[in-house]
Amino acid sequence: MIKSLKVALAAGAVLFGAHTALQAAGHQVVEEIKFLVPGGAGGGWDGTARGTGEALTKAGLVGAASYENMSGGGGGKAIAHIIETKDESTLMVNSTPIVIRSLTGVFPQSFRDLTPIAGTIGDYGAIVVNKDSDIQDLAGLVAAYEADPSKVAVGGGSVAGGMDHLIAALVMKNAGADPTKVKYIPYDAGGKAMAGLLSGEIRGLATGFGEAVALARQDEVRILCVTSTERNDAMSEVPTCDEAGSKGTEFVNWRGFFGAPGMSEEKKATYIEAFEKMYDTPEWATVRDRNGWVDIYNPDADFVKFLEAQEEQIGSLMKELGFL
Amino acid sequence: MFFTKDRIGGILLLIFCCIYALKIGNIRLLPFQADQAFTARTMPEALAVMGIILSMALIIFPTNRERFSIKEFNWPLGLAFLLLMSLYGFTVRPLGFLLATSAFLIAGFAMLGERSPIKLVLVAVPLVVLFWALMNYGLDVTVQPLPSFLRS
Amino acid sequence: MLDGILIGLTTAFSMQNIMFVIMGCLVGTFIGMLPGLGPMSAIALMIPIAASLDPSAGIILMAAVYYGAIFGGSTSSILINAPGVASTVATSFDGYPMAKSGKAGKALAIAAYSSFSGGVVAAFLLILTAPYLASVSLSFQSTDYFALMVLGLSAVAAFAGKGEVIKALLMTVFGLMLSTVGTDQTIGVPRFTLGMIDLVDGISFLLLVMATFALSEALMAILKKVDESKREEERKAAAELGSMAVTKEEVKEMAPVIGRSSILGFIIGVLPGAGATIASFLAYGTEQRIAGAKKGKLFGKGSVRGLSAPETANNAAATGSFVPLLTLGIPGSGTTAIMLGALIGYGIQPGPRLYIDQPDVFWSVIVSMWLGNIILLVLNLPLIPYIARVLAVPARFLLPLILFFSLIGVYFVSFNTFDIQLMVLFGLVATILRLLSFSLAPMILGFILGGMMEENLRRALLINNDSWAFLWERPLTLAILIIAVLCLFVPMLSPVFEKMRRKTKGTASAD
C-alpha cells in the first residue's frame, strides 16, 4: 500500500507540478549542464539527453540539468545554434546521422566544428532473416546474392543511403560481393521493416542488434551476424560478421555529446570525468536498462579518432554506392 | 460575372501548381536512379499534371456561381492578428515565454475590444504563468521563461 | 480462455490497480485536451512512473492514460475545432458543427458513448481473434498497404458535396503536394525545401492541421464582424442549452453505426502502419454512403452518425493495434512503439509466446482495456458540463486564447520559431480557401495519406524490380483497389441507380 501511495504521489506530482529537487549523495563534478536536443520532444535524441541528465543529477555528479529542444534541418538548426552561442555549459546530444548528414550536405557543418566530448551509448548493426528462410548463415545470403542480386531484397529502417543501407552494403562488400548491387528497400522505421521481413516481401534485413535480439529470442527471426568485433553477451551464439565471412566489418551506431567550439580543456575534462563516473552508478544502470541501451564509452581524443574513422568509412562507401 | 468563388480559388491553385511544377527540376536525381521507374520526381510530376488539369477544369466549369464579396469582412483586424502572431514567433525566444506570451494575449484581447487594463492583465498574466509552470514542472517541457538579459 | 479472463480480472480488480485506472484516465484526459499533446506524449510521460510498478499495474496505468488522452483529444476537436492528433480530425467534421449549434454537451456525450463502445467491442474482438489476425496482418505487404492508402483516399468522394467533386479532388491533390515537401523518405533527397533548412524535415502534420482547422476557425470569427453581444448570447446558449441526454431515436441511429465502425476500425487497426486515422476517415466515408441521400446530406453539419462513426472507429483501431504488438512484438503505431519499449523495460518480450509464457500480462492488458473504457465513461460523463463551459468564455478572450494554444501546441513540440511563421502562412491560406468555399478536409486527408502512399508504392516497385504487375497479380491488392474504385464511383452513379430502382419498382407495382 505504501508503494502505491508513493506512486500516487508521483502521479500527483506530474499532475500538479510539484517538483522536489532530489538531494543525493556523491560529490558534484559539474555544476550545471544545459542539454541541447536537435529534435523535438519524445524522439531518440530527446530520450538520450533526458535519460543521461536524469542519471547524472540523481547520482549527484551534476548539480542541475535543463533541456532545450530545437528541431529543424535534420539537426542542423541546433548545430548552428551551439556554434553561434558558444556557451560552455551547453552539451548537444547527437548520433551517427551527424556524420552521414554532414557528408550529404544536409547541413554545412560537421563534428569538426564542435568539441566532441564523448560517445556514451550505442548499438551494433545486425543482418537478420526470417526463421523460415532457407538462408542459414551469412555465407548462404552472400551466395544467394551473388547468384541473383535482384532476388535478394534487403530492407532496413532508414532511407536509401542511410545507416541500415550502409550496414548491408558494408557487410556485402567485406564478404567480397558487389555492394552497389544491394537491392535495398527502405522503411520509415525499424519496426515496419521487421514487419516487412515477416511478411516475406524482403529476404533480409539490416537493423539494430538490440531490436533483432528481442525478436530472435521469440524465435521469429534468425540473426546471421552482428557488426561488432567481439561476440555480444546478449546472444553469444550469434557470430560477428568478421567470423561469418565478412572480413573486418565493424559498425557502431553511437550516441554521444558535443560541446560548443573552442571549449577550454579544463571544462571538457570535467564533463568527461562526470560521464566516466556515471557508468558505475546504480542510477545510470536503472536508466540504461529501462531504455535498453548498451554502454559504448568513447571519450575525448578517442571519440575524435573514432569519428574521423567513421566519416572515412561511411564517406568512401557512400561514394562507391553513388550517393555522393 | 467571371470571378466566382470557384474561379478565384481555381486560379490561385493553378498558380500554386505551376510554381510547384517549376520547382520539380530542383529535386536532385542520383545517377543510379536514372533508369528507375519511380524516382523522387515521379510523384510530384504526376501531382503537378493532375493539379493543373483539375484547376483548369474548375476555372472552365465552375459549379458554384456564388460571387465573392470582400466588403463584409473586417480585413484590417484579420491582418493585424496575422501580424501579431508572426511577431509572437519572432519575440518568443529573445523576450522569453512569459513576457512574449503575456504581450501577445494582452494585445489580442485589446484588439477584440476589451478595454479595462486591469482585466487585460488579470486574465493574461496569471494564465501565462500558470501554463508555463504546468508545462515546466508538471510535464517537463522546458522553455525559456525570461528574456535573455534577465537570465543568470 | 475463461481462466485467462479470470486471471486478468483478479489482477485488474485490486484496489491499487483501480486507483491507477482512475488516476490514469483523469491525467490522460487532461493531457489529451492540451493542444499538441496526444496519446503518444501522454504515455511517454507515464513511463518513468510505470517503470517503478509491477508489469500488470504499469500496463494498466498506461492503457488508462492512453484512452483518457484519446477522449481528451476528441474534446478539443469538438469544442474548438482543434484536433491535436490525426485520428480525431474526422471527429471535428460533425462534432464541431454540433457544438456550435448549441449541442456541445450532447456532442461530447455521443463521443464518449461511441469511443466507449468502440473500445469495448474491439477488446472483445481482440480476445476472440488475436492469434488468428496476427498471422493475417503479417501477410500484408507494401503493395497491399499502397492499395489501402488508395482506399483511404477514396473516402474523399464522401466529403464532396453535390457537384463539388472537382473541388474535392483538387484539394486532395493540394494536400498530396504538401506531403511531398521535405526529405524524400525513400532516397533521402530534399524536395521543395526552397533551400530552407527549416523545411528539410517536411511540414509536420500537427502544424498543418492546427493552422487549417483551429487558426483559420479563429481567424474567420475575427474577420466576420459579428455583433459581440449576439455572439455572447450564442456562446451562452452553446454552453448552457447543451443537454447531454441522448434521445431514443439517436441511440437507434447510433447503434448500427457503432457496430459497423467498431469492426471496421478494429480490422484497420490490426494492420501495422494503417492505424486509427485511416480507420476514422474510412468509417466516416462508409457511414455517409450507407446513410442514404437524405441522412447523408446532414454529414458535416452536425450529424449524429458522422460524429459517432469516426469516434467509434478510432478507439476500436487503437485497440486493434495491440494485436500486432502483443502477438508479434511489432508496434503498428507510435503509441504502441512506446508501449513496446515499456514492456521490454519490464523484461517482457511481446510475441507469439507471450500468451503462453505470461498469461497474466496478456490478460491484464485486455481487462485493463475494458476497465479503462468503463472508468472513462463513468468519470467523464459528469465532467462534460464543466468541460463544455469553455465555450462560455467571451469571444474577445476565447479567440486570442485559441490562437495562442494552437501556436504553442506546435511550438512546444518542435521548438522551432520558424514553425510559427509557417503556421501564420497556412492559417492565411486556409482562411482564404474557406472564404472561397473550398473544403479543407480532403486536403488534410491527402496530406496524411500522401506520404505513406508514395512510400509503399515505391517500395513495392523496388521489390518487384520496377514491374507494376503486382497491382493486378496480387489478389489482396487487387481486391482492395477494386473496393476503392467502387467507393469512388458508386456515389457518383448512385442517382442513376436510384432512378433505375424507382423505375423497376414502378413497373413492379403496376403489374
Given this model, what pLDDT does residue B44 score? 93
What dihedral do alpha carbons C61, C67, C68, C69 form, nearest 10°? 110
Assess B29–A contact: CB distance below 8 Å, yes or no. Answer: no
CB atoms within 10 A of CB B122: 11
Which residues numbered 127-156 in A keep a CB inside 8 Å of some CB on B? none
Separation CA C324–CA B1 (nearest Å): 57
pLDDT band for A286, please (50, 70, 90 cuts): confident
Given this model, what pLDDT does residue C508 score? 44
Separation CA C330–CA B110 (nearest Å): 52
Residue of C23, C353, C414 lying closest to A11 (CB–CB)? C23
- B135 to chain C: nearest residue by CA? C412
- Domain positions in chain C: 2-510
Given this model, what pLDDT does residue A19 score? 39
DSSP A134: S
3-state DSSP of C209-262: HHHHHHHHHHHHHHHECCCHHHHHHHHHHHHHCCCCCCCHHHHHHHHHHHHHHH
Name the minimum distance, in Å, from the CA of C395 to any CA of chain B: 8
Q: Which tens digit of pLDDT belongs to each residue from C44-70? A: 677 767 767 777 788 788 888 888 888
- B30 neighbourhood in chain A, CB within 8 Å: 322-323
pLDDT at A52 over 90: yes
Average pLDDT in the B9-33 region?
A: 89
Assess C423–B contact: CB distance below 8 Å, yes or no. Answer: yes
In DSSP terms, A64 is beta-bridged to: A32
In DSSP terms, A156 is beta-bridged to: A186, A206
- C429 to chain B: nearest residue by CA? B12
Assess B144–A contact: CB distance below 8 Å, yes or no. Answer: yes
Query: In the listed set B34, B60, B86, which residue is the last one of a domain according to the structure?
Result: B60
Assess C428–B contact: CB distance below 8 Å, yes or no. Answer: yes
> Mean pLDDT highest for which of A19-33, A64-78, A245-259, C280-294?
A245-259
C-alpha cell at C327: 502477438
Residue of C185, C337, C416 lying closest to A70 (CB–CB)? C416
Sign of the dihedral through C-alpha A73, A75, A77, A83: negative
pLDDT band for C500, please (50, 70, 90 cuts): low
Separation CA C459–CA C186 (nearest Å): 8
Contact B54/C223, CB-based, under 8 Å? no
Average pLDDT in the B73-90 region?
A: 91
pLDDT band for A157, please (50, 70, 90 cuts): confident
Residue of B20, B93, B104 lying closest to C177 (CB–CB)? B20
Sign of the dihedral through C-alpha C98, C178, C44, C148: positive
Name the minimum distance, in Å, from the CA of B109 to any CA of chain C: 6
Assess A18–B contact: CB distance below 8 Å, yes or no. Answer: yes
Average pLDDT in the A189-217 region?
A: 86
Residues B103 and B139 in one domain: yes
> Angle at Cα A173 formed by Cα A297 and Cα A185, nearest 5°?
85
Separation CA C234–CA C158 (nearest Å): 30
Q: In this predicted model, which residue has the larger pLDDT, A321 or C130?
A: A321
C-alpha cell at A209: 542488434
pLDDT at C2 over 90: no
Residue of B30, B138, B142 lying closest to A66 (CB–CB)? B142
Separation CA B108–CA C406 (nearest Å): 14
The 3-state DSSP class for residue A295 equals: strand
Which residues numbered 378-437 in C keep a CB inside 8 Å of some CB on A? 412-416, 418
Q: Where are the alpha helices (DSSP H) in chain A?
A: 2-16, 44-58, 76-85, 97-104, 138-147, 163-174, 190-199, 209-217, 265-278, 282-291, 300-321
Residues B52 and B11 in one domain: yes
pLDDT band for B32, please (50, 70, 90 cuts): confident
Range(s) of chain A covered by CATH 3.40.190.150: 30-122+253-317
Contact A217/C328, CB-based, under 8 Å? no
Q: Going by C-beta distance under 8 Å and a sequence separation of 6 or more, which residues neighbour residue C215?
A: C403, C406, C407, C423, C424, C426, C427, C430, C431
- B43 to chain C: nearest residue by CA? C454
How many helices and strands, by DSSP H and E, does chain B display? Answer: 5, 0
Is the CB of residue A50 less than 8 Å from the CB of residue A33? no
Separation CA B28–CA B34 (nearest Å): 11
Separation CA C341–CA C328 (nearest Å): 14
Given this model, what pLDDT does residue C353 score? 65
Q: Which of B7, B19, B43 has the most C C-beta neighbours within 10 Å, making it the best mutation to test the interface with C?
A: B43
Q: Which tens digit of pLDDT belongs to each residue from B42-58? A: 999 999 999 999 999 98
Which residues numbered 170-189 in C keep a CB inside 8 Å of some CB on A? 183-188
Given this model, what pLDDT does residue C501 score? 60
Number of Cβ pairs < 8 A linking chain B and chain C: 170
pLDDT at C494 over 70: no
Is the CB of residue C34 less than 8 Å from the CB of residue C390? no
Given this model, what pLDDT does residue A21 score? 40
The 3-state DSSP class for residue C299 equals: coil
Q: Going by C-beta distance under 8 Å and a sequence separation of 6 or more, which residues neighbour residue C462?
A: A153, A183, A185, C186
C-alpha cell at C347: 523484461
Q: Where are the alpha helices (DSSP H) in C52-139?
A: 55-80, 89-98, 104-138
Separation CA B23–CA C409 (nearest Å): 31
Contact C436/B8, CB-based, under 8 Å? yes
DSSP C453: H
In a domain, B129, yes or no: yes
In a domain, B65, yes or no: no
Residues B20 and B55 in one domain: yes
Assess A32–B contact: CB distance below 8 Å, yes or no. Answer: no
Express the helix, strand and coil content of chain B in percent, nearest 5 each.
65, 0, 30
Separation CA A245–CA A240 (nearest Å): 9
Separation CA C46–CA C42 (nearest Å): 7
Is the CB of residue A94 less than 8 Å from the CB of residue A308? no
Contact C200/A68, CB-based, under 8 Å? no
- C196 to chain A: nearest residue by CA? A73
pLDDT at C379 over 60: yes
Separation CA C325–CA C332 (nearest Å): 7
Name the minimum distance, in Å, from the CA of A62 to any CA of chain B: 18
Name the minimum distance, in Å, from the CA of A185 to any CA of chain C: 6
Give the phi and the psi of residue C99 in degrees, each rounded to 5: -65, -35
Contact B74/C224, CB-based, under 8 Å? yes
Assess C194–B contact: CB distance below 8 Å, yes or no. Answer: yes
**DSSP readout, C387-450?**
HHGGGGS-HHHHHHHHHHHHHHHHHHHH--THHHHHHHHHHHHHHHHHHTT--SHHHHHHHHHH
Contact C345/A214, CB-based, under 8 Å? no
Domain range spanning residue B119? 75-150
Contact B141/A41, CB-based, under 8 Å? yes
DSSP A239: P
- A80 to chain C: nearest residue by CA? C197
pLDDT at B118 over 80: yes
3-state DSSP of A244-258: CCCCCCCCEEEEEEE
C-alpha cell at C319: 485497440
Name the minimum distance, in Å, from the CA of A321 to any CA of chain B: 9
Q: By percentage, how much of chain C surpasses pLDDT 70?
A: 79
How many helices and strands, by DSSP H and E, does chain C display? Answer: 25, 2
Distances (CA, A) of C179 to C7, C42, C70: 47, 26, 25
- The count of residues in chain B is 152
pLDDT at A142 over 90: yes
Given this model, what pLDDT does residue C301 score? 82
Per-residue b/e over B10-45, b at no fewer than 16 CB within 10 Å? bebbbeebeebbebbeebeebeebeebebbbbbbbe
Residue of B31, B137, B142 lying closest to A17 (CB–CB)? B137
Q: Does domain A30-122+253-317 have CATH number 3.40.190.150?
A: yes
Give the phi and the psi of residue C183 in degrees, each rounded to 5: -75, 130
pLDDT band for A9, please (50, 70, 90 cuts): very low
In a domain, B69, yes or no: no
> Which ipTM was obtained for this model?
0.91
Residues B25 and B82 in one domain: no
Is the CB of residue C289 less than 8 Å from the CB of residue C490? yes
Number of domains in chain B: 2
- B137 neighbourhood in chain A, CB within 8 Å: 17-19
Q: Which of B7, B24, B35, B47 has the most C C-beta neighbours within 10 Å, making it the best mutation to test the interface with C?
A: B47
Give the phi and the psi of residue B35 in degrees, each rounded to 5: -95, 10
A207 alpha carbon, distance to own chain's centre: 11
What angle, 0 to 180 degrees and rounded to 10, lies between the N-to-C axes of helices C89-98 and C104-138? 160
Q: By percentage, how much of chain B surpasses pLDDT 90?
A: 37
Separation CA B115–CA C396 (nearest Å): 11
Which amino acid appears at position C416 of this protein? Answer: N
Range(s) of chain A covered by CATH 3.40.190.10: 123-251
Average the pLDDT over each of A174-178, A188-192, B27-31, C385-389 and give the range with the smallest value.
C385-389
Parallel, antiparallel or unpaired: strands A252-259 and A90-95: antiparallel
> Mean pLDDT highest for which of A7-21, B111-125, C36-50?
B111-125
Given this model, what pLDDT does residue A238 score? 92
Is the CB of residue A226 less than 8 Å from the CB of residue C167? no
C-alpha cell at B105: 494575449
- C46 to chain B: nearest residue by CA? B139
- C187 neighbourhood in chain A, CB within 8 Å: 159-161, 186
Assess B75–A contact: CB distance below 8 Å, yes or no. Answer: no
Assess B130–A contact: CB distance below 8 Å, yes or no. Answer: no
Separation CA C58–CA C60 (nearest Å): 5
pLDDT at C492 over 90: no
Residues B82 and B139 in one domain: yes
- C351 neighbourhood in chain A, CB within 8 Å: 215, 217-218, 220
Which residues numbered 266-325 in C keep a CB inside 8 Å of some CB on A? 272-273, 324
- B84 to chain C: nearest residue by CA? C424
In DSSP terms, C241 is beta-bridged to: none
CATH class of A123-251: alpha beta
Residues B79 and B45 in one domain: no
- C28 to chain A: nearest residue by CA? A15
Which of the other chains make 3 or more beta carbon contacts under 8 angstroms with chain B? A, C
C-alpha cell at A79: 548545430
> Mean pLDDT highest for which of A168-177, B139-148, C13-22?
A168-177
| DSSP H or E run through A156 | strand A153-156
- C400 to chain B: nearest residue by CA? B108
Residue of C163, C400, C421 lying closest to B108 (CB–CB)? C400
A157: nearest Cα among A117, A127, A123, A192: A192
Separation CA A205–CA C309 (nearest Å): 39
pLDDT band for C244, please (50, 70, 90 cuts): low
Per-residue b/e over A107-120, b at no fewer than 16 CB within 10 Å? bebebebbbbbbbb
Q: Which tens digit of pLDDT belongs to each residue from A11-45? A: 444 444 333 344 444 578 898 899 999 987 667 78
Contact B77/C428, CB-based, under 8 Å? no
